[in-house]
């Protein structure tokens, strides 16, 4: 995901936080097993007003609406595949500054080249899935650089429906629902704190955990998908990411596209070989899904979520990230000064909290 700290804004979650405290309404306080009665952070100092508070901006938190609308686009019958895409985990990618966003020029040639690679790996996954019997393809633009608009719209498979743009509810798993038959991931990266290429997770300083289990960004998407019965069939990224996914999602097909030797370097496997391997893995994944061989990875409810915000964010921005509007998160000072926990029975709420954290750092 990344490209944080480019556009900073202050946040007036004060309204959300104090309303929550006083009324005990909203998601956090009232929900069963969801952070009820827990202390929330004191209101932000006056004057730290967010110019675009999420409540005033359509599309930051409306995940219910997104799901309802996407369900209507899924044709009955056939086999629908939901593909989460990112860029840091693409074949050939090593450099965050030049390759992952448009850069200062607004048109970095390296970024453009890797938009092509993103589209190529995506098209390989779609072609492979189609060979396995898939008939519908829903694609999530999950890379924050260029505001979640990186797939080349003129070169992507003509059957692909793109979930594109920012803001967008639950940006890494927008609208995932029970009508999808399988999830796949291309171009994602290892978790924050893992030795791998451009390893990170949202704006977090360390891995988010669910019931103590570490989940990276695509792991969170798969966790939300699993709540709707959507199994994870195939993933592609560097060897560190591959190891993480094999550990948490053992029944998924895993394609290694490069071998990390630092956070910004390693051995890059040839593009043609990677595309062929992604295509073959996607075919196998659909066939195994149809044969009922893919295992759903689910967690016991209520989910106990823990995360820490990166230390690099300036205090005003951190203050916003620390008060996701409508969620009674609890400070977890035992884990660190910028750490929190939250309990919920709804996986989509984790996607939304991460979306609100993202919104604090990334404005269109
Ligand atoms: Zn990314």
Q: Which residue has the tokens 């056939």?
A: 78
pLDDT at position 28, please? 42
Give the C-alpha separation, 164 to 142, whole Å: 8
Domain ranges of the chain: 57-290, 303-362
Each residue's pLDDT tens digit in the chain (364 positions)? 444 444 444 444 444 444 444 444 444 444 444 444 444 444 444 444 555 677 778 898 999 999 999 999 999 999 999 999 999 999 999 999 899 998 877 889 999 999 999 999 999 999 999 999 999 999 999 999 999 999 999 999 999 999 999 999 999 999 999 999 999 999 999 999 999 999 999 999 999 999 999 999 999 999 999 999 999 999 999 999 999 999 999 999 999 999 999 999 999 999 999 999 999 999 999 999 999 999 999 999 999 999 999 999 999 889 989 888 889 999 999 999 999 999 999 999 999 999 999 988 887 7
- CB neighbours (10 Å) of residue 102? 16
H or E element at residue 331: strand 330-331
Give the C-alpha separation, 4 to 11, whole Å: 16
204 CA to middle of ligand 1, Å? 13
Give the C-alpha separation, 237 to 162, whole Å: 21
The sign of the CA dihedral 264, 277, 141, 150 is positive
168 CA to middle of ligand 1, Å? 15
102 CA to middle of ligand 1, Å? 13
Give the C-alpha separation, 179 to 78, whole Å: 10
306 CA to middle of ligand 1, Å? 22
- Which pair of tokens denotes residue 229? 């019965």
Give the C-alpha separation, 159 to 132, whole Å: 15
With left for phi above 0 and alpha for psi between -120 and 50, is residue 308 left, alpha or beta? beta
- Which pair of tokens denotes residue 4? 């944080």
pLDDT at position 361, please? 85
Q: Specify the 3-state DSSP secondary structure of 71.
A: helix
361 CA to middle of ligand 1, Å? 14
Give the C-alpha separation, 192 to 212, whole Å: 15
47 CA to middle of ligand 1, Å? 32
Q: What is the dihedral of CA 357, 185, 79, 233, to 10 degrees?
A: -120
Q: Specify the 3-state DSSP secondary structure of 126.
A: helix
CA distances from 363 to 72, 200, 210, 254, 342 (A): 29, 19, 28, 33, 25
Confirm if 360 and 51 have CB atoms less than 8 A apart: no
Q: What does the angle CA 298 – CA 299 – CA 300 come to, to the nearest 5 degrees?
A: 135
241 CA to middle of ligand 1, Å? 13
H or E element at residue 155: none
143 CA to middle of ligand 1, Å? 4
24 CA to middle of ligand 1, Å? 36
Query: Nearest Cα to 115, choosing from 164, 81, 73?
Result: 164
Give the C-alpha separation, 268 to 260, whole Å: 9
pLDDT at position 15, please? 44
86 CA to middle of ligand 1, Å? 5
Confirm if 241 and 193 have CB atoms less than 8 A apart: no
pTM as predicted: 0.86
- Which pair of tokens denotes residue 123? 């098209």
pLDDT at position 19, please? 43
89 CA to middle of ligand 1, Å? 8
How buried is residue 313: exposed, middle or buried, by Cβ count under 10 Å (0-12/13-18/19+)? buried
- Which pair of tokens denotes residue 157? 């498979």
| Domain 57-290 belongs in CATH node 3.40.50.10780 | yes
């Amino acid at each position: 995901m990344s490209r944080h700290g480019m556009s900073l804004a202050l946040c007036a979650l004060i309204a959300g936080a104090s309303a929550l405290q006083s009324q005990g309404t909203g998601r956090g306080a009232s929900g069963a097993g969801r952070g009820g009665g827990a202390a929330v952070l004191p209101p932000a100092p006056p004057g730290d007003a967010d110019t675009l508070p999420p409540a005033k901006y359509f599309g930051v938190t409306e995940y219910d609406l997104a799901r309802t609308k996407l369900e209507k686009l899924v044709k009955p019958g056939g086999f629908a595949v939901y593909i989460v895409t990112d860029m840091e985990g693409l074949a050939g990618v090593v450099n965050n500054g030049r390759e992952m966003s448009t850069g200062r020029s607004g048109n970095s040639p390296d970024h453009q080249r890797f938009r092509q690679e993103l589209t190529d790996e995506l098209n390989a996954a779609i072609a492979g899935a189609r060979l396995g019997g898939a008939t519908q393809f829903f694609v999530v633009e999950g890379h924050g650089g260029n505001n979640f608009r990186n797939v080349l719209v003129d070169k992507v498979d003509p059957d692909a429906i793109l979930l594109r743009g920012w803001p967008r509810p639950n940006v890494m798993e927008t609208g995932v629902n029970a009508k999808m038959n399988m999830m796949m991931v291309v171009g994602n990266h290892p978790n924050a704190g893992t030795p791998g290429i451009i390893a990170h997770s949202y704006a977090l300083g360390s891995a988010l955990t669910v019931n103590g289990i570490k989940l990276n960004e695509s792991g969170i998407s798969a966790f939300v998908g699993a709540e709707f019965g959507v199994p994870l069939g195939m993933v592609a990224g560097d060897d560190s990411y591959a190891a993480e996914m094999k550990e948490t999602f053992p029944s998924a097909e895993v394609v290694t596209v490069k071998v990390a030797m630092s956070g910004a370097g390693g051995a890059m496997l040839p593009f043609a070989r990677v595309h062929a391997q992604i295509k073959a893995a996607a075919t196998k994944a659909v066939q195994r899904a149809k044969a009922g061989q893919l295992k759903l990875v689910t967690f016991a409810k209520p989910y106990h979520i823990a995360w820490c915000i990166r230390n690099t964010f300036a205090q005003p921005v951190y203050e916003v990230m620390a008060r996701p509007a409508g969620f009674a998160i609890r400070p977890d000072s035992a884990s660190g000064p910028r750490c929190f926990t939250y309990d919920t029975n709804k996986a989509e709420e984790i996607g939304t909290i991460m979306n609100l954290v993202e919104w604090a750092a990334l404005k269109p």
